Amino acid sequence: MVRLAVTGDLHIRMGDPGAVAPGLAAASRGVDALLIAGDITEHGRVAEAELASLLLRVIDVPIVAVMGNHDLRSLRRLAFRQTLATAGVTVLDGASVVLTASDGLRIGFAGIAGCGGGFWPAEAPDAIHTKAWNAIAVRQRREAAKLDEALTRLEADVRIVLMHFAPTASTLGDEPGAKYWMLGNGELGRVIDNHRVDLVLHGHAHLGNRIGATANGTLVRNVAFPVNSSVVQLLVDRSGIVESESLIASAVGTGG
Ligand SMILES: [Fe+2]
Ligand SMILES: [Fe+2]
């Protein structure tokens, strides 16, 4: 049995570590790993990453994260990632890591930021095509290909996808339909459904709902802190995700 603490959308900024970050150390006590589904910082500034590192480096379990759109605002992405690495944070971008429990159970995480693009034709209407839209479509294909490769290479007993953007509209809750194209895309869901995946964790949709599924029924959890008002704890065994509960309650943030 492996115990995971999971959250997303910390939005740490200078002078304001946000609602969840200060409690992460307590929330991570007794777990085997902490997962962060992006938007660790508000502006992607290295100084914000340094503040995040101060809060995260006291956590003595593996920390696996992906970048969110707010982190990707960084003009110094290498320095940003290196700063997080000093706190022991592994940032996945089309790659994977495997955590092996004491009983030999291998929990694999494939991670990617993802991107927008929308959920047509299955879950939402198509958007108006423009030049800007073509750029989004290119990025969508690139992110989907990276996720596909990471999942193809991942060898583990339990396979979890960690991402920032949503792979389905089923976890978008009260987000307005006009924003769907900014919140994720269905191509990521189709990639997931082409592989054996036990669970997808994403953030980004602050007004979303907690639990949904891809078209083929893969379990999807929106772990954005504003959605859950807590760090989520998952218990995992060979059969997959067996239990979940909230770890800490705190104030609800806003943003995107
Ligand atoms: Fe976001
Ligand atoms: Fe966010």
Tens digits of per-residue pLDDT, 135-171? 888 999 999 999 999 999 999 999 999 999 999 999 9
**Spacing, Cα 8 to ligand 1 middle (Å):** 9
Residue 132 CB neighbours (<10 A): 9
Mean pLDDT of 48-59: 94
Tally the domains of the chain: 1
Tokens of 16: 């304001």
Q: According to the model, what pLDDT value does residue 94 have?
A: 97
**Spacing, Cα 105 to ligand 2 middle (Å):** 32
| CATH code of residue 228 | 3.60.21.10
C-beta separation of 17 from 53 below 8 A: no
Virtual torsion, Cα 209, 214, 217, 221, nearest 10 deg: -30
Q: According to the model, what pLDDT value does residue 27 have?
A: 87
Q: According to the model, what pLDDT value does residue 238 have?
A: 81
Please, which residues bridge with residue 13 across strands? 16
Is 256 domain-assigned?
no
**Spacing, Cα 71 to ligand 2 middle (Å):** 9
Is 61 domain-assigned?
yes
**Spacing, Cα 111 to ligand 2 middle (Å):** 17
Computed over every residue of the chain, the mean pLDDT equals 90
Is 81 domain-assigned?
yes
Ligand sitting nearest the alpha carbon of 11: 2
pTM: 0.92
β-strands 199-202, 158-163: how paired?
parallel
Residue 213 structural domain? 2-246
Ligand sitting nearest the alpha carbon of 182: 1
Is 252 domain-assigned?
no
Is 255 domain-assigned?
no
Is 254 domain-assigned?
no
Classified as helix, coil or strand, 158 is strand
**Spacing, Cα 247 to ligand 1 middle (Å):** 22
- Choose between 250 and 1: higher pLDDT: 1
